[in-house]
Chains A and B, each alone.
Chain A
């Protein structure tokens, strides 16, 4: 009666895979169902029960209009900081990776080594000295206090370096130079058109890292009107009845947020990254593998 051993192993493997599927995906299902329920339903009904579209609309409305549309302000701030930082990161990293990979200059090896070190350095340990420095530069409270640090992205430089040093046929560059093309022209007309995958790859990582950064904007912003969504989310926790008893002493005339509202706010906060993720998976793998292991 015993199953053949191969089948037994397959069954075990399937069970393990299903277990991890539940682990990874159940919280996502829960998250997207939560705003369809009222606070009471969320606690009393099955975690997988669907509330109603009407409740969902109400939850969405409550979150978006909360405190003078704070969530929209934060969304806008997040967009400014992240897109600004990503643009700067790409503009800095792509030529730098090219320069490190395909040109010669004194200090190239040193720069490469420093890049590797800085890349694995625990960057948030430097938030405080960075704050003092930004303040001395007079940039505190401006968008540059975030865009500049977000734009400094050694990991992107490293990715670009790997990409250029392994994918651009050197003969092509040499031929172009012999034809009299200047360095800028070689970069602009030969390397850059071939670099599209690495531009989107660096852009992807820089965007996700900037969008999700918490500590830096937490320190660099004057007040809640400058918060990005990640920091705003923490404030929303404080505005949610169950996570801050003080809200129970609020007068009956005002809107107090509840647990489903918080879930809705999370969905709003992650939506841009989620969309990027949905479309980026294939590009991510192909771009990265092309950069790293191309023959």
Chain B
């Protein structure tokens, strides 16, 4: 009796185990059969394109103009604020394999330095686009300093995010009657000092944002993040190009707001209406000055773009904030199709010429005039604004390099906290440099002073 019971028990349990194994195997088989089918029909596997929320309108246009394209569109974070999604997923794919039809062929990246990360060891995951896109096309793409790395073209720039001097013409003429907006950093700081005395509560810029380094240091040729040769970066906080600009900003600290343009404080304090001037990217113009509940701005019609201030060493340069990159992964089975898609996204006037699709200045020069014309009636003094934007677009300093660490992140978590609690930019310089050095060394880079 007992033996029959235990036999029955064994049978039941064995059955259970077999069933469990079968389920697992079925699951595995399901996974692998999917991969087998995609591998055997490699040519018919869809092109996988990762895009971010802000590029949704591009996808719409592409679908409308290429109704038969076999593409799997995947929305992802865009690696926003350097959240590391791409690095994480790429390093995982490098372990599990890049499955055609599942792993991405084309990626849009919001972080402008990341081609220098994902295209370098240990990743090496980006395709050199030179064999696939003709030079007559890519050479017209501005801001390629972020893409041309060690002789390879690892991405195309989507938009040109050069910094300009945004001026609230109404406030400026009221507070500085008879004066022209500043053309140099010294002028700019002097206006700030005057404003602190005459109109406290009004501002000439932002301070304490993660992209401060890209505004003030990059814009003054400060060699804090300058790649030179193989895995070597120059980071010299005591260079006059760095210390002078830091002193100038410190001399007018009261004229810089701590409210970030994307924070709730910016809206509730109506900070946008208190910005007499602001140094910011081209795309900021349409983003943070409109009226209405989203940004509580003064209205774009009072804003005019001026050329960025001339550097303290006399150079006509500017920094750049944001703007995105189109990249093709080196593991793609369809490099031609992938490169063609990237080229279309970057050059098509249906996308880049239409502000309903994109609010950033096209990096592709031939599309710029169409886009600029659309600014007529949006900003004050459109001719001058368009000229200033065009000038800034060509002045981005190439000494601020795409590297495998995020200066914005480092700035945000090591420097910003000190700045918003009353620290000076001068003191922040060495903290920033120290942290860049640590991050660079961790990534296997040499750091020169």
Q: How many whole Å from B173's CB to the nearest CB in chain A?
A: 27
A242 to B55, CA, bound (A): 16
Residues of A within 8 A of B359 (CB): 248-252
Q: A283 contacts the other chain (Cβ, under 8 Å)? A: no
**Whole-angstrom CA separation of A184 from B96 in the bound complex:** 42
Tell me the bound Cα distance from A38 to B293 in angstroms: 9
Say whether B159 faces chain A, with CB atoms less than 8 Å apart.
yes
B31 touches A138 (CB 8 A): yes
Say whether A135 contacts B75, CB under 8 Å.
no
Cα-based distance from A251 to B322 in the complex (angstroms): 15
Contact (A142, B293) CB under 8 Å given A182-B9, A244-B81:
no
The answer to whether A43 and B264 touch across the interface, beta carbons within 8 angstroms, is yes
Are B57 and A132 in contact, with the CB atoms below 8 A?
no
C-alpha gap A43/B102 in the complex (Å): 41
CA distance A235 to B102 in the complex (A): 19
1/0 per position for B69-103, CB-CB distance to A under 8 A?
Answer: 00000111110110100001100100110010011
Contacts A185-B5, A238-B83, A253-B356 given; does A246 touch B27 at CB 8 Å: no
CB pair B52–A251 under 8 Å, yes or no, is no
Once A184-B8, A223-B74, A244-B81 are accepted as A-B contacts, the answer to whether A253 and B27 lie under 8 Å apart by CB is: no
Chain B residue numbers with a CB within 8 Å of A257 are 53
Asked if residues B294 and A246 are in contact (CB atoms below 8 Å), the reply is no
Task: Tell me which residues from 204 to 223 in chain A have a Cβ below 8 Å from any Cβ of chain B.
Answer: 218-219, 222-223
A70 and B31 contact, CB distance less than 8 A = no
Q: Mark B235-279, 1 if CB is under 8 A from A, else 0.
A: 000000000000000000000000001111001100000000000
**Do A238 and B80 have beta carbons less than 8 Å apart?**
yes
Q: How far is the CB of A277 from chain B (nearest CB, A)?
A: 29
| A183 and B78 within 8 A (CB) | no
| Cβ contact of B31, chosen from A131, A142, A239, A246, cutoff 8 A | A142
Chain B residues with a Cβ closer than 8 Å to the other chain, count: 66
A residues 89-136 with Cβ under 8 Å of B? 131-132, 135
Also in contact, A242 and B354, with CB within 8 A (given A141-B96, A182-B2, A249-B159): no
In the assembled complex, the CB of A178 is this many whole angstroms from the nearest CB of chain B, namely 12
Q: Separation in Å of the B166 CB from the closest CB of chain A?
A: 14
- Our pick among B27, B60, B77, B292 for the contact of A142 (Cβ within 8 Å) is B27
| A140 in complex: contacting residue of B96, B268, B292, CB < 8 Å | B96
A247 at interface (Cβ–Cβ under 8 A)?
yes
Do B27 and A248 have beta carbons less than 8 Å apart? Answer: no
In the complex, which residues of chain A have a beta carbon less than 8 angstroms from the beta carbon of B397?
none
Indicate whether B384 reaches chain A with its CB closer than 8 angstroms: no
Contact of B44 with A by CB under 8 A: no
**Contact partner of B357 among A218, A238, A241, A251, CB < 8 A?**
A251
Of B282-290, B307-315, B328-336, the one with at least 4 CB within 8 A of chain A: B282-290
**What 0/1 pattern do residues 329 to 363 of B give for CB contact below 8 A with A?**
00000000000000000000000001111111000
Cα A63 to Cα B159 in complex, Å, equals 28
- Report the separation of the CA atoms of residues A244 and B354 in the bound assembly, to the nearest whole angstrom: 22
Residue B64 at the chain A interface, CB threshold 8 Å: no
A251-B356 in contact given A142-B27, A224-B76, A238-B78 (Cβ < 8 Å) = yes
Are B358 and A251 closer than 8 Å at their CB atoms? Answer: yes
CA distance A223 to B105 in the complex (A): 13
Partner of A223, one of B81, B102, B110: B102
- CA–CA, A242 to B358, complex, Å? 18
Q: Is the CB of B53 within 8 A of A144?
A: no
Q: Is A292 among interface residues, defined by CB-CB distance under 8 A?
A: no
Q: Which residues of A line the B interface, CB within 8 A?
A: 38-41, 43-44, 67-68, 70, 131-132, 135, 137-144, 148, 180-185, 218-219, 222-225, 234-235, 238-239, 241-258
Can you list 13 A-B contacts with CB-CB less than 8 angstroms, sorted by A residue number? A39-B294, A135-B95, A182-B4, A184-B5, A223-B74, A223-B102, A244-B53, A244-B262, A245-B287, A246-B322, A248-B283, A251-B356, A252-B355
